[in-house]
Amino acid sequence: MHTKLFATMSQARLEIFAWLTYNNARRRHSARPTSPMEFEQQHHRTANLSLAA
């Protein structure tokens, strides 16, 4: 396992934010063709449509 140490807390926060942004907004999941954020947006659109019907 690779462990990375950070010089400052600010550096650690920036790295974590960058990873979360990539992971949730851009990275495609192996089990579906969309990112987690895209999947959630599609879910909300579908749920809103079924509530209106």
pLDDT band at 52 (very low <50, low <70, confident <90, very high): low
Residue 6 has pLDDT above 70, yes or no: yes
Buried b (16+ CB within 10 A) or exposed e, 7-44: eeeeeeeeeeeeeeeeeeeeeeeeeeeebeebeeeeee
Q: Domain residue spans in the chain?
A: 9-50
Average pLDDT estimate for 4-13: 89
pLDDT computed for residue 37 by the predictor: 78
Greater pLDDT, 24 or 10: 10
